[in-house]
Amino acid sequence: MSDSYDLIVIGSGPGGYVCAIRAAQLGMKVACVEKRATLGGTCLNIGCIPSKAMLAASEKFHAAESEFEKMGIKTGGVKLDLKTMMKFKDSVVEANTKGIEFLFKKNKIDWLKGAGKITGKGKVDVDGKTYDTKNIVIATGSDVAGLPGIEIDEKKIVSSTGALELDKVPETMVVIGGGVIGLELGSVWSRLGAKVTVIEFMDQILPGMDGEIRKEANKIFKKQGLEFKLSTKVTSAKSSAKGVDLTLEAASGGNEEKMSADIVLVAVGRKAYTENLGLDSVGVETDERGRVKTDGHFKTNVDGIYAIGDVIAGPMLAHKAEDEGVVLAEMLDGQSGHIDYNLIPGVVYTWPEVANVGKTEEQLKEEGVEYKVGKFPFMANGRARAMNAVDGFVKIIADKRTDRVLGCHIIGPEAGTLIAEVTLGMEFSSSAEDIARTCHAHPTLEEVVKEAALAVDGRPLHV
């Protein structure tokens, strides 16, 4: 292993490992520092991948338990083997993290094992040994954000990490926070048998998403058995012999309410992680939320030091981090690059899924943009009926004058897959009519997207 590099990336999450691979493809001599025992960061180890494995497994369990019979499938009783389900999840994580190790070897990227600290311009210390480099990329990601006065012990009061490791299904679970992670993991444990209550400070779940989608999501998840306490804050949560005792209050203040649960999941967001990175010693600036400050080209205020992913501003999403990694590596190679942050899709992997790209109606109203809306329900789609998955709709928003698509919001089966065609369309400045006139195979869920595009012009065919 060499002591000097063209590029040292600190952190091997989707931002860091992708940046390292792209830089190596471009001929740079690259090392990536990772202190975790396995590569892949939050995403592969304790985030996207294990949560999706648990969502997939619990979805199948729930379907076998409560949906198969309607389709004429008799099971003779479905039993949960949580230990094996967890083993399945762990095996998915292992396959993915080993996959990054293979990609590092293939691209001749050195994995510097240990905690990285920037000790000067072009100098990174890894557990006592100093390496020289032309450029440094900070890709140290994020960590769980807590709530004041609530101590996460990862046993009874857990973060997403603990919620992916429970050794038995709790009878009752309180999820603090009705955002993406809270709803995904709340759904997992609800499907496996827990009575789940979601407590949300705002007046509706999924803050930041399109208003109609938020309402529909609330209605569908309630039907599935999730209970919601909106406009409510948790003021304390304390472990007791039995479980956890919570005190709640209206968000605007008011009478206290007591509640208890076997497990409490704190899912109120994540914060940038820069602990012991040596930022102060080299003078790298951070913002009021502790995120590394960068310009439009991922440069920090210190020459030769860049940052990408969850540790900088923007949506905390793996694909955002990956795209930043690629663009930055190409910029370091002398190429130009650009990311349209308006076109980063967001997906909630519940059932049904929720997906969005571009602007919401609320944002367009605020910006004073005139728009038209087309909506189409999955209920009116043959394939959705054949799949017994008719909840939800596709909503496309287009500019009133030019018909250019400004946003798309989907709640329904495979929403996360369906959003891709609209994202691609928007990348090419597509109009709603372009989507409506594109031939969509029959019978597919994609036809709902086409019908919503037709509905923008008031001419859907199947309602």
Active site residues: 442
Closest approach, Cβ 399 to ligand FAD, in A, equals 28
Considering the complex, state which of residue 312 and residue 436 has its C-beta at the smaller distance from ligand FAD: 312
Closest approach, Cβ 106 to ligand FAD, in A, equals 20
The residue type found at 96 is: N
Closest approach, Cβ 148 to ligand FAD, in A, equals 20
* Measured distance CA(380)–CA(371) in Å, rounded: 25
Contact flags string 311-350 toward ligand FAD, x per CB under 6 A: x----xxxx-x---------------------------x-
Instruction: Pick one of 9, 21, 22, 51: the residue that binds ligand FAD (CB under 6 A).
Output: 51
Residue 41 interacts with ligand FAD (CB under 6 A): yes or no:
yes
**Which of 149, 176, 143 minimizes the C-alpha distance to 161?**
143
Site for ligand FAD in 3-32 (CB under 6 A): 10-16
Strands 4-10 and 129-138: parallel
- Strand ranges for 220-349 from DSSP E: 227-229, 232-239, 244-250, 257-261, 263-266, 270-272, 305-307, 346-348
* Measured distance CA(263)–CA(163) in Å, rounded: 9
Instruction: Pick one of 25, 29, 35, 390: the residue that binds ligand FAD (CB under 6 A).
Output: 35
Considering the complex, state which of residue 278 and residue 337 has its C-beta at the smaller distance from ligand FAD: 278
Residue 47 interacts with ligand FAD (CB under 6 A): yes or no:
yes
The total number of residues shown for the chain amounts to 463
Closest approach, Cβ 210 to ligand FAD, in A, equals 19
In this chain, which stretch among 34-42, 198-206, 212-220, 279-287 interacts with ligand FAD, using CB under 6 A? Answer: 34-42
Considering the complex, state which of residue 141 and residue 358 has its C-beta at the smaller distance from ligand FAD: 141
**Which of 252, 255, 203, 207 minimizes the C-alpha distance to 229?**
203
Q: What angle do CA 71, 81, 189 make, to 5 degrees?
A: 75
Per residue, the 3-state secondary structure of 142-163, as one string, reads EEECCECCECCCCCCEECHHHH
Residues binding ligand FAD: number (CB under 6 A) = 36
Site for ligand FAD in 371-430 (CB under 6 A): none
Instruction: Pick one of 181, 244, 268, 436: the residue that binds ligand FAD (CB under 6 A).
Output: 181
Considering the complex, state which of residue 140 and residue 381 has its C-beta at the smaller distance from ligand FAD: 140
Looking at the chain, the number of H-run helices and the number of E-run strands are: 14, 22
Closest approach, Cβ 39 to ligand FAD, in A, equals 8
Instruction: Pick one of 8, 20, 28, 48: the residue that binds ligand FAD (CB under 6 A).
Output: 48
Site for ligand FAD in 255-274 (CB under 6 A): 273
* Measured distance CA(357)–CA(396) in Å, rounded: 10
Instruction: Pick one of 26, 56, 103, 115: the residue that binds ligand FAD (CB under 6 A).
Output: 115
Please say whether the beta carbons of 194 and 172 come within 8 A.
Answer: yes
Pseudo-torsion of CA 296, 297, 303, 308, nearest 10°?
A: 100
* Measured distance CA(295)–CA(223) in Å, rounded: 45
In this chain, which stretch among 36-44, 57-65, 283-291, 449-457 interacts with ligand FAD, using CB under 6 A? Answer: 36-44
Residue 186 interacts with ligand FAD (CB under 6 A): yes or no:
no
Considering the complex, state which of residue 3 and residue 367 has its C-beta at the smaller distance from ligand FAD: 3
Residue 142 interacts with ligand FAD (CB under 6 A): yes or no:
yes
Phi, psi of 204 (to 5 degrees): -155, 155
In this chain, which stretch among 168-176, 248-256, 309-317, 454-462 interacts with ligand FAD, using CB under 6 A? Answer: 309-317
Q: How many CB atoms lie within 10 A of CB 97?
A: 19
Considering the complex, state which of residue 308 and residue 456 has its C-beta at the smaller distance from ligand FAD: 308
Which three-class secondary structure state does DSSP give residue 360?
coil
Considering the complex, state which of residue 173 and residue 318 has its C-beta at the smaller distance from ligand FAD: 318
Instruction: Pick one of 92, 109, 116, 447: the residue that binds ligand FAD (CB under 6 A).
Output: 116
**Which of 2, 3, 281, 21 minimizes the C-alpha distance to 139?**
21
Strands 4-10 and 30-34: parallel
Chain residues binding ligand FAD by CB under 6 A are 10-16, 33-36, 41-43, 47-48, 51, 115-116, 139-142, 160, 181, 273, 277, 309-311, 316-319, 321, 349
